[in-house]
Amino acid sequence: MFEFTIKNADFLNDFYRELKDYVRNAYTFTARFLITPELMKQYKEQEKLTFILLNKSVYQNVFNMMAQLDNNMIYSAMSCLENALHNIRLFYVLKINRNNLYKYMTEEHFDLDKCEEIAAKNTDFKDKNEFSVIDFYKDVKRNNRFEDIKNILPLEINDGSIYMGLSNGNELSEKLQDKIRGYMISM
């Protein structure tokens, strides 16, 4: 299992275990919530299935991210996180605008970017919080695409070398652990 070895390791390892439990419980809650008759009577069968599948995808990607972290498979873990964030954003924009949902299901080239563009024009869609899911997604995506290699490379160096196997070895660099900590807290 993945273990932090950096400053505040005990707290972070407890947080990681609690996060796993929270994710399991959150999936159970959201899956049950999505099938409640009161909530879903306003949607057609295919629309309901779209929301249920998006919800399932989000949580499967989060579970996979944690399983990959447990094996120090950082790149595949971050790819799972990117997919989960993409589907969280998609779920949100489809939920706030039923026209987006219909177009997304029926038009071939109607994608998340188009949904967010329409949502941005809507006064209900404003990211006023300090934390932005869109910005978080973009940061994860930049790292997964190696678009900022000068910041990624130092994360991989541990004790002056880069582990050449499939994982990052038994112990991750402090900088990489800090990055993972930030991602988990943001989640």
Position 37 in a domain:
yes
Position 156 in a domain:
yes
Q: Which of 147, 150, 134 is nearest to 186 (CA)?
A: 134
Count of domains observed in the chain: 1
Position 3 in a domain:
no
Q: What is the pLDDT of residues 3-55, one digit of tens each?
A: 888 899 999 999 999 999 999 999 999 988 888 888 778 888 888 888 999 99
Q: What is the pLDDT of residues 58-114, one digit of tens each?
A: 999 999 999 999 888 888 999 999 999 999 989 988 888 888 888 888 888 888 888
Position 48 in a domain:
yes
Mean pLDDT of the chain: 85
Position 57 in a domain:
yes
Range of the domain at 32: 9-186
**Mean pLDDT, residues 152-168:** 77
